[in-house]
Amino acid sequence: SKIKNEVIDSYLGWIWIFLEPLIFMLIYAFISVVVFGRTQEYLAAFIFIGLTIWKFFNSSVVSSVRLVPTNRDTVTKVYVPKFILLLIDSLQNLFKLFISFILVGFFMIYYQVDISWNILYIFPIILVLFIITFGFACLFMHFGVFVDDLNKIVPLGLRFIFYLSGIFYSISDRVPKPYSELLLICNPIACLIHEARNVLLYSTAPDILTIFIWFIIGLFLCFIGIRTIYKYENTYVKVMR
């Protein structure tokens, strides 16, 4: 599997799955406190939650663009529904996400965060994240077969979204209204990061209506994406020959 290969190729082994997001968290914490002179309650956990959710979305979408060409032998020689390749890749990234949330738990213990039943909302939030990500990834996987330069364009677009998602800052605190409200409504990753922090760190209930709307949108994207892949999957083989 992808995870097994990554671990075998790394001298740090399984530790790297924990260490990589931890290093990025320290970098962004340094930038926030030392460079910008801003602090945030539960800073390490606050940043780490944002990074964990972003990394899942970013990794899944970026890898989806070249997923079919990368698995050329499988696609051309053995028939499997092409979206299964994406599902496997997404589940592997989901596994990494859950490992990262173990570290979030340690940060919460360190900060002595008050725990309430609202913490259970993290599971539907992760579910919506998975569905939204899978829907977008299906579409990028399809177009990635036909547009070679998409693997260069997508990371640039994602970098722009990264800075609009509140990874290392609070959108509601740092962005003036009504722009902050628009970002939290129109950007699903910003919305889910914001709500994940609310339920894990601040013991508050999420905006259930907004999350439900993104759940429906995610299902629609998945339906369109899977249907498109089914319609054109025979064309993928011809394009790669």
User: Taking 60 as the threshold, does the pLDDT of residue 181 lie above it?
Assistant: yes
Rounded Cα distance, 211 and 228, in Å? 25
- pTM as predicted: 0.87
Buried b (16+ CB within 10 A) or exposed e, 8-28: eeeeeeeeebbebbbebbeeb
Q: What would the mean pLDDT of 184-201 be, rounded to a whole number?
A: 95
Rounded Cα distance, 210 and 184, in Å? 9
Rounded Cα distance, 142 and 230, in Å? 10
Say what percent of the chain tops pLDDT 70.
85
pLDDT digits (tens, 9 = 90+) for 6-19: 444 555 555 666 67
Q: What would the mean pLDDT of 172-181 be, rounded to a whole number?
A: 86
Residue 137's closest CA among 65, 52, 82? 65
Rounded Cα distance, 96 and 86, in Å? 16
Position 8 scores a pLDDT of 46
User: Taking 60 as the threshold, does the pLDDT of residue 107 lie above it?
Assistant: yes
Position 191 scores a pLDDT of 95
Position 39 scores a pLDDT of 67
Which residues are CB-neighbours of 134 under 8 A, at least 6 positions away? 60, 86, 87, 90, 218, 221, 222, 225
Between 13 and 208, where is the model more confident?
208
Rounded Cα distance, 90 and 56, in Å? 8
